[in-house]
A and B are shown apart, each in its own frame.
Chain A
Amino acid sequence: QQQVKQSPQSLIVQKGGISIINCAYENTAFDYFPWYQQFPGKGPALLIAIRPDVSEKKEGRFTISFNKSAKQFSLHIMDSQPGDSATYFCAAGITGGGNKLTFGTGTQLKVEL
Chain B
Amino acid sequence: KAGVTQTPRYLIKTRGQQVTLSCSPISGHRSVSWYQQTPGQGLQFLFEYFSETQRNKGNFPGRFSGRQFSNSRSEMNVSTLELGDSALYLCASSREQDREQFFGPGTRLTVL
Contact = CB atoms under 8 A, between A and B. Distances in A.
Interface of B: 4, 31, 33, 35, 42-45, 48, 50, 55-56, 58, 90, 92, 94, 99-106
Interface of B is mostly: strand
A44 B103 CA distance: 6
24 contacts: A32-B99, A34-B99, A36-B103, A42-B105, A43-B104, A43-B105, A44-B43, A44-B90, A44-B103, A45-B103, A46-B102, A49-B99, A49-B100, A89-B43, A91-B43, A98-B31, A99-B33, A99-B48, A99-B56, A99-B92, A100-B45, A100-B48, A100-B56, A105-B42
A72 interface: no
Contacts of B43: 44, 89, 91, 101, 103, 106
Contacts, number: 61
Interface residues of A, number: 24
Contacts of B99: 32, 34, 49, 93, 95, 99
